[in-house]
A and B are shown apart, each in its own frame.
Chain A
Amino acid sequence: MYTQALNQQDGVATQATPASEDAGAVARFEARVAAEDKIEPNDWMPAAYRRTLVRQISQHAHSEIIGMQPEGNWITRAPSLRRKAALLAKVQDEGGHGLYLYAAAETLGVSREELYAQLLSGKAKYSSIFNYPTLTWADIGAIGWLVDGAAIMNQIPLCRTSYGPYARAMIRVCKEESFHQRQGYEIMLTLSRGTAEQKAMAQDALDRWWWPSLMMFGPPDGESQHSDQSMRWKIKRFTNDDLRQQFVDATVPQGHHLGLTFPDPELRFDAEGGHWRFGAIDWAEFKAVLAGNGPCNRQRLKTRRNAHESGAWVREAALAHAAKRRARAAQPARAAE
């Protein structure tokens, strides 16, 4: 998912676990989490819990911010004013979600500036899906339908995650995202009912986005390094494979309704199990994209870095102006001369 790289090692420096954490404190903490109590910023928490949360929340935030780029690529070319407003509002929401999530991470004692620095240096990860290019307008439909559809599968359970500020941010995110997937599906529906060229555009988008969407849920459960502990701490509430299957089951009938074909010859309905069974995912591609070799990895980071650097003078000036005001206010009022 947006935090799929949790299952991989990244270069983000984290606080070391103290040699011995008070066993009693750990037990009390785990009992609280088991009882569905929420953990709040000032509460005692194991160092590994804090570390995992910072990584997960910041990866999620980075994904939202980098995720603005592929869709932002089409704002100026949206084919109607209605679509233009909807797309801009959606990409703006992604910026907002990044903002809420960075703020949630900040409650754990890291600053937004530090988190940005980790992203811009290439140390921190973000979702692999955003390293694919948006080549036609249909990609905007496919992203809304598939990528947001996958995201929402993951995000709804996160509304009940054990860390209070993260859960509250996710509640706001989910509430706002409710239009995103519908927006995308409506685009796909319009295209698949449109001209032959438009229908081909929609099929091509499904062909390119289907497998990367399935990869969004992260590696299979057996290979997922951090899953067990995250599940116990209720940072994560379903396994990668469970969520992936839920997504496939929900999405395949929607695709058939569009009259489109999934690029998977092995896709079939298992009537006994009640699930859509899908073919093997190309994990080599997933690993390559996560390692930085996707079609757009370098471009995405470079764009973000350029935006950040070309805004530095603005942030400096704003801080300098605030300092001037404080200095003026601190000056003793001068008597009329």
Chain B
Amino acid sequence: MTEAAMPLWEVFIRARAGLSHRHVGSVHAPDAAMALLAARDTYTRRGEGLSIWVVPSAAIAASDPADRDALFEPTASKPYRHPTFYEVPDDVGHM
């Protein structure tokens, strides 16, 4: 018989001041306070972080890979959003 599941949490760590939190992995813990401690003890043993977020894995809403084309393809045809789309003579200098 399999015992009751210990909740799963996703762990995000800010590596250095000024950077955003980045997903590093997950831990099991009974509640948020313990998940923070578990994340600290698991993912910051080599000076990897300055700040930790934990989020219940079940709380994450993810896009469906099947929607990839619908969500992300249309952006490919809009080169005018990028600076290289525009012509500026070299002698104008850096812009």
- Find out whether A and B make contact in their complex, taking CB atoms under 8 A apart as touching: yes
A-side residues, CB < 8 A to B, are 40, 42-44, 92, 96, 99-100, 103, 106, 111-114, 117, 169, 172, 176, 312, 315-316, 318-319, 321-322, 325
Beyond A113-B5, A114-B2, list 11 extra A-B contacts (CB 8 Å). Answer: A44-B66, A112-B6, A113-B2, A113-B6, A117-B1, A172-B25, A312-B3, A315-B3, A318-B30, A319-B30, A322-B30
Partner of B4, one of A44, A114, A319, A325: A319
A44: contacting residue among B6, B31, B65, CB under 8 A: B65
Given the known inter-chain contacts A43-B65, A96-B42, A315-B6, please indicate yes or no for A112 contacting B25, CB distance below 8 A. no
Q: In the complex, are the beta carbons of A103 and B25 less than 8 A apart?
A: yes
Residues of B within 8 Å of A169, CB to CB, are 25
A117 contacts B65, C-beta separation under 8 Å = no
Q: Which of A106, A117, A312, A325 contacts B8 (CB 8 A)?
A: A106
Are A96 and B45 in contact (CB-based, < 8 A)? yes
Taken together as a complex, chains A and B put the C-alpha atoms of A176 and B6 apart, in Å, by 26
Give the distance in Å from the alpha carbon of A44 to the alpha carbon of B66 in the complex: 8
User: When chains A and B are docked, how far (Å) is the Cα of A40 from the Cα of B66?
Assistant: 12
Contacts of A319 in B (CB 8 A): 4, 6, 30
Q: Which 8 A-B pairs have the closest CB atoms?
A: A318-B30, A322-B31, A322-B30, A103-B26, A113-B2, A43-B65, A117-B2, A42-B65
Given contacts A172-B25, A318-B34, A322-B30, contact A99 B42 (CB under 8 A): yes
* A169 CA to B42 CA, complexed, in Å: 13
B-side contacts of A172, CB under 8 Å: 25
Residues of B contacting A315 in the complex (Cβ-Cβ under 8 angstroms): 3-4, 6, 30
| A226 CA / B14 CA spacing, docked (Å) | 40
